[in-house]
Structure formats: C-alpha cells, structure tokens
Structure 1
Amino acid sequence: MKTALVTGAASGLGYELALLLAKDSYKLILVDIDSSKLTEVKTELETQFNVEIVALTKDLSLPNVSQDIMDNIGDTPIDVLINNAGFGLFGTFSETSWERESAMLNVHVITTTHLTKLVLEGMVNRGSGKILNMSSLAAFQPGPLMSIYYASKSYMLSFSEAIANELKGTGVTVTALCPGPTKTAFQETVSEDASENKIQFNMACAKEVALYGYKAMLKGKSYAIPGKFNKFLAVIPRFITRNAATCIVRKLQAKNRED
C-alpha cells in the first residue's frame, strides 16, 4: 500500500486532496494544527474508505517541525507529499503583525522546503514519488496589501519548477498548484475586511480545484492553473510592465476592501 502525507489536511483543499487519496486507497498521514477537525477527518475517511490513517497535530510555523514529522513517521516511505498548509494576511507591510508574517514565512517557505527535502531523498532512491506544492495565482505578480503572501507563493512556484527540472529522469515529479480565489477556510484567516473575504467573482469550488491539482500531479505536470480565466490572468503580467501589474493588484485589493 502506498503512503501519502498531506499538510493542512483538516479542511479546504487539504481535506479534498486527502479525500481523493483515500478513494485511491492510499495510507494517509494527515497533518494539521487543528486537532479537533483533524480527528473528525480521520474518523470520516477511515469509516468511509477503510484506509489506515495517522493524524499528527503539528504547528507548521515552529522551527524544525518538518524533522519532528519525519521522526513521527519513522521508516514509512512517502510516495506522495502534498504541501498544502498555509494562510494569508491582509494589510500594509508597515502595519501588519511580524509575528503573524514570520509564522506565514515559516509555513509557506521554511517548513514546506524542508519537508520536501526530507521526503525527496527516499523518493529519488526508490525511483518514484510525487510532490504537490500549493502555490497560487498570486505567484505571478507582486501583491500590495498582501505582500508576504504573494511573495511566498511566488517562491513556492519558482522552487517547485526548479526542482521539477532537476528531477527529470529520476521517476520523481513536482507539481505547483496555482489556484485563484477558492472557497475555503483560508478566507477566514486573512482578516475580517480582507479582499479574499469579499471576492465573489471567479470564486472556485475547493473540490474542483483539488481534483484539477490531483490529476496534474498524477500526470507529473510542473505547474497547474485551474480555470481558463485564471490562466489568462497568469499571463497578463508578461505583456505589461511590472509597475503596471503591481498598481493593478493594489487597486483591486483596495477596492475589494472598501466594497
């Protein structure tokens, strides 16, 4: 039986991806900070699909938590790694909380990168494995009023594409999933007046986004952008100046906050 590790698995895209893996009879190692929801998901998937599930309650913003997760796993080989955990923060960088921003950088960048590195060695040695990293449509341009979030997602896209290229011929693939606005609990963690809380146009269904990303991962694509309109939005910055792209994002963020 193959084993999959999913972070941020208690809700949203992480839950939907765990559901898809359970349907395909993977043994699951589910990681989330929310112990209560994680237990509910574990019970639900075990009952519905009769698969073995290990639930690990971890704060992914803490130093060396990736090594802690691997120590908990022991010798279990990881066939699929889904780095899904993440959250956002709205506001000008000069006024937002550094505590919250440093936690975001640890989750999106440090923990995700370290966990990928720790899992990757075994995958390469076995000559097989799949990694899905959660990036965003935000990765394709700077994001005033959500500067750290946009920058961290840009890092994740660049990092994923780079190692995907390095891994060609090894049997291991890396996919960056870049969804646009998606109806998940993410919106609740940004801020009460954040643009993510108010955007209704082009809002995607988490189940559909997860399935799109899951299929892209199985095919070994280096990146995946769900939705034709999102694909169009991703290429616009190539045809205008970076300053213009940044100004457009700023105006959209500010407008959605005012509405």
Structure 2
Amino acid sequence: MNKTALVTGGASGLGFEFALLLAKDAHDLVLIDIDAEKLKEAKQTIESDFPVQVQVLTKDLSLSNVSEEIMAELNFRSIDVLINNAGFGLFGTFWETNWKREEQMLHLHIITTTHLTKLVLKDMVARGSGKILNLSSLAAFQPGPLMSLYYATKGYILSFSEAIACELKGTGVTVTALCPGPTKTSFQKVVANDSSENKISFNMACAKEVAVYGYKAMNKGKVYAIPGRFNKLLATLPRFMPRNSAANIVRKIQEKNRED
C-alpha cells in the first residue's frame, strides 16, 4: 500500500510542487485548497502521470474547526506526511489594513496549522513514524513593518515547529520548518488583495526549486531549512544588530518593493 500525504494549499504553487514530489515517491494524496477548479486540474494532472490516488477537499482553511472537519471526512485515516503549506500575506500599515482579512490569516497560519498538526501527530507517534513540513518563511527571523502580522505568524510557525521537533526526538516522527525567501507563486497577488499593491521582485526564487529543497530537508529530518545562500545570510543578520535596526531595514525593502 502507498503511504498517504496531506498537503494544504495543494492546488497550485509550492503546494502543487510538493504534491508532485510526493506522487513521484508513490504517496497517495489528500490535497486541500479553497480553489475547487484548480484542485480538479491538479488531481487530473497527477493521476495521469503517476500511479497514485488523489483525494481533493475544497476547504476554507481560515474557518474555525476546519481541521476536525477535514479529519472526519477522511474517516481519521492515518497520515504519513503532513505538509502545512497554505498561507497568504497582507501588505500595508497595521492601522489601515483590513481586520477581517487579517483575522483569516491569523486563523489559517496559527490555529489551523497547529490544530491539524496536533490531530495527525498522535497517530504518527503511536506508529513510530511520520513527517511534518510546516511552511514558515525568511520573514520568521525578524519583525516586518508593512507586513507585521504575516511576519509574526511565520515567526510563530518556526518557533512552534522547532519546539515540537525537540519534543519528538526518539519517536520516529520529525517536524521541519521550511523558511524560503520570496518565491514565484500566486502569493504576490494575494498580498495585494484589499491593500496597497506590493510587487515583490527582489531575490525571487523558483517554486519548484524551493519545494525540492524543502522536500529533501523534510526527508532528512532537518528541524529547519532555508533555501539559498543569500537567504541564509539574511536570516543571521538580526543576531548581529539591534532589533529596531533590523525592522528599519525590512521597512525600507518593503517600501522599495512597493515603488517598483
């Protein structure tokens, strides 16, 4: 029997690239996304190219109790690999941005990621095997003016992943936080939704390359992974300067991206 992998945000971008890598390694897939049409296309593409089964669930992952709803629809089947990939950003000064959209981001990045991890983890530990990959970001390593809540939630995902990875030592289960820099996906379009447009172009990475890097790191059981030498350097900068200086630098980068 094939192992089963669950990927949130699996219809496009990084999530779809992870799905392809998992299918290539003979994992049956559960793909979850809010976009029903793209989910259908992803299922057709994967099942035509690989001898695996793909189940798709159209879900808004920013809603309360969605994690329990997902597991119930899956009849609480065993999940061998969980990739918490779904997420979005919002650009603008905190007092001007849309609270409803921010609330959705907070629930998706923090509550859903945490709850879904908790629901699959007990079974993984009982079996003595399992892999979890949580999508954090280079943003996790410093404060982020003009994208304050996005940076803060990604910081949470990194800290949470590192902590439970430590707790899981010796269980056969691993947790990895992937911390990419800007990646060419639909993320930029979502960032601009309900806010001033932010055309991120600096240090842009390819989604496929980022997915391959993160997938290899997950399979090796690494606690966190930062693709790209320049990104690794950027992640260390806050250690060598005052935090307010790091915040000022991030703000200047964000403002420049907004102008470009």
Q: Distance in 2 between matches of 1:194 and 1:2?
A: 41
Alpha-carbon deviations, 1:44-96, whole Å to 9, x = none? 10111021110000000000000000001114210000000000000000000
Secondary structure class of the residue paired with 1:142: coil
In structure 1, the residue matched to 2:210 is 209
Superposed, 1:161-172 pairs within 5 Å as 161-172=162-173
Give the equivalent residue in structure 1 for 2:174. 173
For the residues of structure 2 that align with 1:194 and 1:73, how far apart are their CA atoms?
A: 38
Aligned to 2:12: 11
What per-residue deviation string (whole Å, max 9, x for no partner) do you get for residues 91-147 of structure 1? 000000000000000110000000000000000000000000000000000000000
Superposed, which structure 2 residues align to 1:1-259 within 5 Å?
Answer: 1-191=2-192, 193-195=196-198, 197-199=199-201, 201-259=202-260
State the shift of 1:43 in Å: 0.8
Counterpart-to-counterpart distance in 2, 1:50 and 1:130: 22
Per the alignment, in what secondary structure is the counterpart of residue 256 of structure 2?
A: helix
What's the offset of the Cα at 1:198? 3.4
1:158 deviates by 0.2
Q: Which amino acid aligns with 1:81?
A: L
Q: Secondary structure at the match of 2:47?
A: helix
> Normalising by structure 1, what TM-score?
0.98
Q: Output the aligned Cα RMSD.
A: 0.9
Which one-letter code corresponds to 1:49 in the other structure? F
Deviation >6 Å, runs of 4+ = none
* Segment drifting more, 127-136 vs 75-84: 75-84
Shift in Å at residue 35 of structure 1?
Answer: 0.3
Query: What runs of 5+ residues in structure 1 fail to find an aligned partner?
Result: none
CA contact (8 A) 2:32 2:57 kept: yes
Provide the rounded CA distance (Å) in 2 between the counterparts of 1:76 and 1:70: 8
CA-CA distance at 1:251 after TM superposition: 1.2
Instruction: Give the deviation of 1:255 after TM superposition.
Output: 1.8
Q: Any idea what the Cα deviations from partners look like across 1:208-252, whole Å, max 9, x if unmatched?
A: 000000000000000000000000000001000001000111111
Distance 1:153 1:127 in 2: 28
CA-to-aligned-CA distance 1:10-60 (integer Å, 9 cap, x gap): 110000000000001101000000000000000110111021110000000
Amino acid at match of 1:24: D
1:153: how far off? Answer: 0.1
Give the secondary structure class of the aligned counterpart of 1:198.
Answer: coil
For these two proteins, the number of residue pairs brought into alignment is 257
